Amino acid sequence: MRARVFVTLKPSVFDPQGTTVADALHTLGYAAVRNVRQGKYFELDIDAQTAEDARKLASEAADKLLANPVIESYRIEVGNA
């Protein structure tokens, strides 16, 4: 199974990289881009019988290592590798 983990900064946390990218897009003429938030994306290939098992493991990995709960939150998608 493949779990996709999307880690993003919590909405309340300032994101200097996202702000810089947004500024750059504006100078390139993309005025319609209102805001940019930068995040991280992980692909976990997991030996698991069911999607539920894979999700459980990915969620543990995210809690323990992939995301820092002080500043980040995450979302998981599970599918076939």
Partner 1 sequence: MTAIEQAIAQHGLTREEYQRIVERLGREPTLTELGIFSVMWSEHCSYKSSRVHLRTLPTTGKRVLQGPGENAGAVDIGDGLAAVFKIESHNHPSFIEPYQGAATGVGGIIRDIFTMGARPIALLNSLRFGPLDDPLVRRTFAGVVAGIAGYGNSIGIPTVGGEIAFDESYTGNPLVNVFCLGIARADEIVRGVASGAGNAVYYVGAKTGRDGIHGATMASAEFDERSAEKRPAVQVGDPFMEKLLLEACLEVMKTGALVGIQDMGAAGLTCSTCEMGSRGGAGVEIDVSLVPQRESGMTPYEIMLSESQERMLLVVRQGREAEVERIFDKWDLHAVRIGTVTTDGRLRVRDHGSLMAEIPNAALTDEAPVYHRPMARPRYLDEAQQLSLAALGAPAPPKEVFLRLLASPGVASKRWVYRQYDHMVRTNTLVVPGMGAGVVRIKGTTRALALSLDGNGRFAYLDPFAGAQLAVAEAARNVACAGGQPIGATNCLNFGNPERAEIMWQFARAVEGMGAACRALEIPITGGNVSLYNETDGRAVLPTPVIGVVGLLEQAEHAVRRAFRTEGDAIVLLGEARAELGGSEYVKVMHGLVRGVPPVLDLAREAALQRVLIEGASSGVIRSAHDCAEGGLAVTLAECCFDTGLGADVRVPALEAAVADYADVAALFGESASRVVVAVSAERTAELLALAAREGVPAEVIGRVGGERIHLAVSGRTVVDERLADAERVWSSGIDRYFERQQAIA
Partner 2 sequence: MKFAVVVFPGSNCDHDAYYAVEHVLGQEAAFVWHKDTSLGGADVVVLPGGFAHGDYLRTGAIARFSPIMQAVQAFADAGGPVLGICNGFQVLLEAGLLPGAMLRNRSVKFQCEHVFVRVEQTHTPFTMACRQGQVLRIPIAHGEGNYYAEPAVVERLEQNRQVVFRYTTAAGEVTDAANPNGSVHNIAGLCNERRNVVGLMPHPERACELAVGSADGLLLFDSVVRALTQGVLATAR
Tell the smallest beta-carbon distance from residue 16 to partner 2 (Å): 5
Is residue 7 within 8 Å of 62, Cβ to Cβ? yes
Check: CB of residue 38 under 8 Å from CB of residue 15: yes
Closer residue to partner 2 in complex, CB, 1/62: 62
Q: Which of 28, 31, 32, 65 binds partner 2 (CB under 8 A)?
A: 65
Using CB under 8 A, which residues numbered 5 to 24 contact partner 2?
9, 12-17, 20
Helix, strand, or coil here: 7?
A: strand
Residue 12 three-state SS: coil
Q: Looking at this protein, which amino acid is placed at residue 29?
A: G
Min dist. Cβ of residue 49 to partner 1 (A)? 26
Residue ranges that bind partner 1, judged by CB under 8 A: 20-21, 23-24, 26-28
